[in-house]
A and B are shown apart, each in its own frame.
Chain A
Amino acid sequence: DIQMTQSPSSLSASVGDRVTITCRASQGISNFLAWYQQKPGKVPNLLISAASTLQSGVPSRFSGSGSGTDFTLTISSLQPEDVATYYCQKYNSAPHAFGGGTKVEIK
């Protein structure tokens, strides 16, 4: 099975900072990659599909890129409401594995 590895597992940044989260697949998955945001105590929320397609209503400071095995989620200017854990997920085939998550905090 294809494994999804996220890095870092946690980060602390200041408001306004540019934040980058990396997700690596153990084999190529084309662009079948989604990103979810899970705020503390809440249900996961879809941010990005097809590696780079921003979902309706998601702030434009979020962006995704990559294809094949290497992907990134970027927050261009970190805001207090972005405190959350972010997960990547492959969906080219079963199992639809998630990465281990990246916890983002404000410094």
Chain B
Amino acid sequence: QVQLVESGGGVVQPGRSLRLSCAASGFTFSRYGMHWVRQAPGKGLEWVAFMSYDGSDQYYEASVRGRFTISRDNSKNTLHLQINSLRTEDTAVYYCAKGHSYGYQDYFDYWGQGTLVTVSS
């Protein structure tokens, strides 16, 4: 069955960097677009970034563009999110989510359990 397992979260000081990972299994990773979604404590869902099946297309939410970088390694079935210049407002659970198809016009049919990022001095 499809499994998405995030890692890399933790407590980090403002201005520092963090790299999140999502290990995928149970499906042919290289055929699907992948997304990151975050949820601040007690708040709603916020879409963050998308990468197409082959890495050729990337899209970002405006507030993170330039600080966040999404990437993937299809040989290792892994999705990454590099977060630089962390801000307190980046505190959230970060989920990776599998797209239903290969492109960006897609909804999310599977979600990981999430990894918590806490930005605090």
Contact = CB atoms under 8 A, between A and B. Distances in A.
Interface of A: 1, 32, 34, 36, 38, 43-46, 49, 55, 85, 87, 89, 91-101
Interface of B: 35, 37, 44-47, 50, 59-62, 95, 100, 104-109, 111-114
Given A1-B62, A43-B112, A43-B114, A97 B47 contact: yes
B45 A92 contact: no
A32 B103 CA distance: 13
B105 A44 contact: no
29 contacts: A34-B108, A36-B45, A43-B95, A43-B111, A43-B113, A44-B37, A44-B45, A45-B111, A46-B109, A49-B100, A49-B107, A87-B45, A89-B45, A89-B47, A89-B107, A91-B106, A94-B50, A94-B59, A94-B60, A95-B62, A96-B50, A97-B47, A98-B37, A98-B44, A98-B45, A98-B47, A99-B44, A100-B44, A101-B44
Contacts of B44: 85, 87, 98-101
Contacts of A1: 62
A38 B114 CA distance: 13
Contacts of A85: 44
A91 B106 CA distance: 6
Contacts of A45: 111
A6 B107 CA distance: 18
Contacts of A98: 37, 44-47
Given A43-B95, A43-B111, A49-B100, A95 B61 contact: yes
Contacts of B112: 43
Contacts of B109: 46, 55
